[in-house]
Amino acid sequence: MNTIENLKKYNQTRILKLLENASAQNAKTLLTDLKKLNFDEFFETYNESQKEIKIDESKIKELPYLVKRELNPQMNKLFFDLGMEVLSSGEYAVVTMAGGQGTRLGHSGPKGTYSLDIGGSQKFLFEVLKENLEETNKKVGKTIPWYIMTSPENNELTQIFFENHNYFNYPKEDIIFFKQNHLPLIDTEGQILIDKDYHVKKASDGSGSAYNSLKNDGCLEDMEKRGIKWIFIGGVDNILLKQTDPVLLGMAIYKNSQIASKTILKSYPDEKVGLFCSYDKHPRVIEYSEMPREIAYELTNDNELKYKEAHIMCNLYTLDALKFLSEQKLPYHIAFKKNSYLDESGKEIIPFKPNSYKLESFIFDGFPYFDDIALLRGDREENFAPIKNKEGKDSPATAKVLYKNYHTKR
């Protein structure tokens, strides 16, 4: 089937009209780009992602967890020592997922290149993460290899940024960039968006892309060569993220778990966080938007929330677990976002509110492939200062205060 036939088959009326109105050069650019798109595969994924996720409440159970501040001194030391052993032997790597669009923050470059005034000086998000790694590097006398996931949209800018900042003096050979996949954006009418340069407008396909992309870009192989056994995967936008907690690592080793996660306590029933639970006897994170209300509000006999372990993108895996996950096809979810596009006359439309769907797989959709997960609850004030929005909740302003409070108490 040729491109025009595909456009007709999938009712892409806006693009068909745009092609009629475009200059020969622009039409050629657009057609060349569209030719590369596997329409059947994309629309199958899109249709799948549109299906409502059905949660069977009877399958939801609590998942065991430990609370870090309640560990007795012997247990704490046991976990700490086990974790330090791995960190000191150079068997630990860190992955930062920095391929997101960062639409809510509205920063013009890659999110990791956003800077804010913390601790009396201006720091980039990448720099904050680097400092956290360096602290451990100094303690263990080794450099933790740092894998950074970019997107096709921000890869070049991210790499140039690191180059321009001399890799923040982190050994260049220990920073490895890899690229995640991207998919077309589509509006509420099912029309694929076209960018102002007459290319199909695409966006990174979610944090869950990390698993396949680590394999496809040769990072899993690289880890194997370096003798890595444990890998931390975290986000780019939490300035209190603890990427090398020996206690979490030691707990995973002690429990013989393939995967582990640091959680924080959900503060109130409607807080917009994903929650850990056991679903059909497998660990799972249910997004706040998909969590049945009765479950979100359910209380224990002690009048506490029954499901309260929030996922904060602070996850650990054995290399074998990552190899396994890299072979799986995770489900896609739909995220409603604000994206500009060309209308049928070729005029750029910049929406003021969300207008389009982004197809995303989530990193936590890898968890149900396992029988268990080691969960360690950390203190919110020590572990969580996210930067999601430009203003208000989870913004640079709130993160700065949390960062300052934590560092003055230390």
CB closer to ligand UTP out of 90 and 109: 109
Backbone dihedral angles phi then psi of residue 376, each to the nearest 5 degrees: -125, 120
Residue 153 corresponds to which amino acid?
E
Q: Tell me: does residue 100 bind ligand UTP (CB under 6 A).
A: yes
Q: How many residues bind ligand UTP (CB under 6 A)?
A: 23
Calculate the alpha carbon distances from 353 to 49, 343, 349, 374 in Å.
21, 16, 12, 39
Q: Is residue 166 packed enough to be buried (19+ CB in 10 Å), middle (13-18) or exposed (0-12)? A: exposed
Nearest residue to ligand UTP, using CB?
A: 100
CA–CA dist 348, 281 (Å, integer): 49
State the nearest-atom distance from the C-beta of 237 to ligand UTP, in Å.
5
Site membership for ligand UTP, residue 274 (CB under 6 A): no
- Give 132 or 204: the residue with its C-beta nearer to ligand UTP: 204
The answer to the question of residue 184 lying near ligand UTP (CB under 6 A) is: no
Per CB under 6 A, the segment of 34-42, 235-243, 289-297, 372-380 that binds ligand UTP is 235-243
Q: Which is nearer to ligand UTP, 215 or 306 (CB)?
A: 215
List binders of ligand UTP among 283-322 (CB under 6 A).
Answer: 313
Helix then strand count (H, E) for the chain reads 14, 20
Please choose, from the candidates 328, 321, 323, the residue with its C-alpha nearest in 3D space to the C-alpha of residue 372.
321
The single residue among 102, 145, 378, 396 that binds ligand UTP, judged by CB under 6 A, is 102
**Beta strands 309-318; 230-235: pairing state:** antiparallel
Pair of tokens at residue 402: 């949390």
Report how far residue 278's alpha carbon sits from residue 368's, in angstroms, rounded to the nearest whole number.
9
Residues in 371-390 that interact with ligand UTP by CB under 6 A: 388
* Residue carrying the six token digits 């009712």: 11
Does residue number 206 form part of the binding site for ligand UTP (CB under 6 A)? yes
207 contacts ligand UTP (rule: CB under 6 A): yes
Q: How far is the CB of 69 from ligand UTP (least distance, A)?
A: 26
The binding site for ligand UTP (CB under 6 A) comprises: 97-105, 111, 149, 180, 204-207, 209, 235-237, 313, 360, 388
